[in-house]
């Protein structure tokens, strides 16, 4: 997994696991993410990847 851009992005955006999602995005652990919440997290990852490409 090391070096995988999505994996790096997930760590950079705190979307790597439910613990980080709870801490940084305030979506409580143990409750399934809604469609809108999932889309929000995906868009955060995509924005981060775009920023890396622009650099
Ligand atoms: Zn994590």
Q: pLDDT (tens digit, 9 = 90+) per residue, 1-55?
A: 567 888 899 999 999 999 999 999 999 999 999 999 999 999 999 999 999 988 8
Q: Are 17 and 23 in contact (CB under 8 A)?
A: no
CA of 11 to the centre of ligand 1 (A): 7
List the chain domain ranges: 5-54
Residue 13 near residue 51 (C-beta atoms within 8 A): no
What's the confidence (pLDDT) of residue 2? 63
Report pTM.
Answer: 0.82
Task: Give 15 Cα–ligand 1 centroid separation in angstroms.
Answer: 6
- Please measure the distance between the N-terminal and C-terminal CA atoms of the chain and give it in whole angstroms: 23
Neighbour tally for 3: CB within 10 Å: 6
**Rounded to the nearest 5°, which phi and psi values hold at 54?**
-70, -25
Residue 23 Cα to ligand 1 middle (Å): 9
């Amino acid at each position: 997994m090391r070096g995988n851009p999505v994996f790096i992005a997930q760590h950079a955006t705190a979307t790597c696991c439910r613990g980080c999602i709870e801490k940084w995005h305030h979506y409580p652990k143990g409750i399934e993410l809604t469609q809108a919440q999932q889309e929000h997290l995906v868009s955060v990852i995509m924005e981060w990847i775009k920023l890396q490409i622009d650099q």
